[in-house]
A = this chain, B = another copy of it.
Amino acid sequence: MMPALAVSRRTRSTPFTSRVEAMGVQAYTVYNHMLLPTVFQGIEEDYWHLCEHVQVWDVSCERQVEITGQDAQKLIQLMTPRDLSNARAGQCFYLPLCDEKGMLINDPIAIKHSDEHWWLSIADSDVKLWAMGIATGMGLDVAVCEPDVWPLAVQGPKAEDLMARVFGGQVRDIRFFNYRHLNYQGTDMVVARSGWSKQGGFEIYVSNAELGGLLWDELFSAGEDLQVAPGCPNLIERIESGLLSFGNDMDYSDTPLECGLDKYVSLTADIQSLSINALRSSTPRHQLVGLVCEGKHSFTATGVYMQELCVGEITSWAWSPKYGVTLAMARCSTPALNSDVSLTVNSDSGPHPVVLSGLPFDFNDLGLTAHEASQPQTVTGKL
């Protein structure tokens, strides 16, 4: 039973909220001070639909922090330990943002328009304040703002077909984590092949609210035979796919190296980054890992135990209908992970052993085979 959400001007609505409500949204969360749908038909129903068809998501809450000016690229590089010296316009970049101690501030997708013009498509923290603070403190020649841009995601295996019907065949040529400027009814829109699922798809950066409404309607009318439906980031799919959620699976108390984001940290590059020195000399105290628990469980507490000792904390979990196991992400102490003693968690039916996994889960390696779509069941994780 979910509690009610009191909506106000502060929990901003989006240009798509009236459509999302007309289409039966069941719940929201608040993300970047804005409404984000979390379930339509049911988390498991939404999951199977996303894996088989195509969904349109109102992800307006992925706010853009726009950085323009002569020092724009310099500021972006200061904010992240990932080497951006070869970044080209037209590309998207997953960027851990870190402070001087190497701790995570956010993990946006950066969109490079030019050396003097970047967008950070942010997770749930006020990156605008962090960027403005550094720029003000250092006297950088940049302007930082949050423009009126409300991303729509089109996700699922039929996403490309649907997008091609609305934007033309050129969408098929957009490579993963690249974007193009496409014309929609005379207006330029940034369209990237990206999105917070592993089912394939696109994100459309809508900067005209009225046109966005027309686009929403056209995606639904053009995709009727593709079984297009409204959707949203799905708890089951994102855990199966190993997609981390800032604020859930990682936060200000983690370095990217503690979250398995090593490949986005350029430890040996010669870059001017606030965090790179701290990260070079850091030792991970804990590690974000995957846990696999046989059967269908509802976790009543978040502790991960090595015998009697609490050595970690579950950060997200869900029943995986495709693999027939309960999957969790957990932050566990490094010594415990290096030990031979097995780990247990507490579910509604008592303590249960778990199998450790890297992230994303390697289901082959775990000896798990994907099932076909089955009757939806409803145990999903909310910690």
Contact = CB atoms under 8 A, between A and B. Distances in A.
Given A129-B127, A130-B130, A29 B8 contact: yes
Interface stretch (A132-140, A155-163, A174-182, A358-366): A132-140
Interface string A8-19: 111100000000
A68 to B, nearest CB: 15
A4 B27 contact: yes
Interface residues of A, number: 51
How many copies, total? 2
Contacts of A133: 129-137
Contact of A315 (B9, B136, B247, B383): B9
A33 interface: yes
Contacts of A130: 126, 129-130, 132-133
A26 interface: yes
A135 B133 CA distance: 8
A30 interface: yes
Contacts of A126: 125-126, 129-130
Contacts of A302: 9
A4 B2 contact: yes
Contacts of A38: 6
A99 interface: yes
Contacts of A135: 133, 137
Nearest to A11: B29
B125 A248 contact: no
A280 interface: no
A3 B25 contact: yes
- Residue among A21, A139, A383 having the largest count of chain B Cβ atoms under 10 Å: A383
A247 B10 contact: yes
Nearest to A12: B247
A124 B132 CA distance: 17
B8 A5 contact: no
Interface string A182-198: 00000000000000000
A292 interface: no
A3 B27 contact: yes
Contact of A30 (B30, B127, B129, B274): B30
A172 interface: no
Closest 3 CB pairs of A and B: A133-B133, A137-B137, A10-B247
Given A10-B248, A129-B130, 6 more contacts: A8-B248, A11-B29, A125-B126, A128-B252, A134-B137, A146-B252
20 contacts: A2-B6, A2-B7, A3-B25, A4-B5, A5-B27, A5-B30, A8-B247, A8-B382, A9-B383, A10-B124, A10-B245, A11-B29, A33-B124, A125-B126, A127-B129, A129-B130, A132-B133, A136-B137, A136-B274, A137-B138
